[in-house]
Each structure stands twice: as structure tokens, then as C-alpha cells.
Structure 1
Amino acid sequence: MKAHELFNAADPALVTQMLDWFRDNDRNVYKSAVATLAQSKKLRLVFIQKKPLGEQYAWILKTLRSKQCDTIGEHLLQAWFMAGNQEMLAKFCDAMGIEHDGKGSVTGDLPTEVDAAKLDGAVDTLVGAYDPKVVTLYLNVFNLQRPGGWDTLTAKLEGDSRLTLA
């Protein structure tokens, strides 16, 4: 799934959780994202900033659901996971045997293949410790890191009933 497809499929509450995290923890990323999205729609930033927060979020989600905002959406998702969900990323990397910096940022090469048994264990661990919707979103974003994704991960996302976005 591309980023705009993820935003179309995701529970709006999950997107709200992400946007709240940025507003609380990294306002610069939030402001930059809103400015870039506004510019992509040929709107002035102040037009969006004057809206009540709920309307801002609804507008952001609507805009991120469009194909033309794929790159912005993917960057937002990556930033949220890399800064706001480091523990989960590190657990995934550990379970998959992927070298990382202790915060979930991969330090070596991404694997060429994903071992199904390791993936099953990693998913079990993550779903047991975190919101399954967040886990599902992360696994989809991880799958975007390689052109075409990994067949094993794609099959897991499609076949495991715990891994739903809505």
C-alpha cells in the first residue's frame, strides 16, 4: 500500500493520535507538514491555521488521502514511527534480526528476504504489547522501504486478522 492508501484505510483516530503526537512533541514537523500540504493545494498556511483543531485534522487527513500527497504522507509516517515509536521499532528489529541503533533505526542493509517464522514471532510480540492498528500501520510503512515490499510481509498483512487499519 502507498501512503495515501494507508491514510484512506486507517482509522481516523489513528491519524489523530499521530497528529497529536507531533503537536505535543515536534511542533516544527507539524507546522512544516501543514504548510507543505497547504502549498500543494495552493492555499495559504494561515487559512488552515485559523481553523479549529478538529477541522485542521480533518483537512489534513483529507489531503493526505490524495495520491499527490504520497511523499508528504510517507515522510510524516516515517517521522512519527522513528521519533514517537522507537521502542516498538527496536522490538521489531530485534525479533527480525535486523541491525539497528537501539532506537529502531536500521544501521545495516534491509534484508532481501523476510523469514516467515521470525515475522510471525515479531508480529505476536508487537500485537501483544502495542495497539494492533499502530502495529499494522508500522508494518505497512516498513513494507514501503523496499520497492514492491517483501512478499512474506505482504502476505502476513493480508492474511492475519489481527492486522487491520480500521
Structure 2
Amino acid sequence: MAAQPINDESDSDDYPDVPAVPAGLRIPPPHRRAPVHQNPVAASGRAPAVWLLGAHGRSGAGTLAHIWAPAADSGGGWPAADRYPGVVVVARTDFDGLSAAQDLVLQAAAGLIGEAILLGTALVPYAPGRLPKSLRRKAEIVAAASPALWQIPWVEDLPLHPRGEL
């Protein structure tokens, strides 16, 4: 007997909370996904027009949120309950950063981000200069899976200033 597809309409009624996942899509395991915020992240004041989701610690999301207006750090999760749910994933261009960004982009492609909307990925250089070939290839994989890609340039003086001065 041949295997039957599980994503037909009759099966989706049996499991209403499980989104249909495109065939062949590698879904990252739960421990490598960002949580989906069920409550608004924006506590008070004007809600940001775009959220920055750091793919990993020291991704640069906090610094970019401080510099870019009207952006804000999403607190490590998908802002699914906020008025403006657009998200840019932020990652360093080292191996771990690109791997973490790939996981989040695949999480979004699988529909596991609630009402949040992935706008694209911003890559922050881990060092000045051109990326090694293996990292360029990994960045290309992330770019292919992301709706848009922004490469942030290396800013020589940025590490020399406290965040409050930026």
C-alpha cells in the first residue's frame, strides 16, 4: 500500500492546532526554535513598526534596535500578539549565527510563528573583511530561505562606544 499524504483537507480538521508543513521542509527541533509570544511584547507607548529577533546571543539585535527607529528588540521570540507583527531575524555571520538564523527562517516557513510575519534577515558581520567561502555559502542558504536579506556593514568605531551614545 502506498503512503498517503497527511496534508489533505480531511486531516487538517483532525489536528486544528498543527499547521500544514510543506513537504520536504526541514523543521528545526523545538529547542532550536524561538518561542511565540502569546501576549504583546510592546508594553507601553508607541508600538514599533518592525521587530528585531536575535537568532542567538550577541547577534546585534539589541544594538540595531537602539540605532534603528522605529524598530525594537522582540525579546527573543516571535511577537505574534502585537499590533505590528513584522519581524527581521538578526544574526552574526559566524557559523553558529548563520545556523541559528537558518533555524528561525525554517521555523517561519513551517508556519510555527503564530501571527508574526517574517520580513527578512539582517546579517551582522562578526569581523571586518570578506566572509570565508564556507560562511558565504551558508549565508546564501539563509538568503534563499528568507523573504529578504540585508547585510549590515562593519562599522569600525561601533565597539568603541557605549550603546547609550549611539
Q: Give TM-score, length-normalised by structure 1.
A: 0.31
The structure with the larger Rg is 2
Q: Give TM-score, length-normalised by structure 2.
A: 0.31
Higher strand share: 2
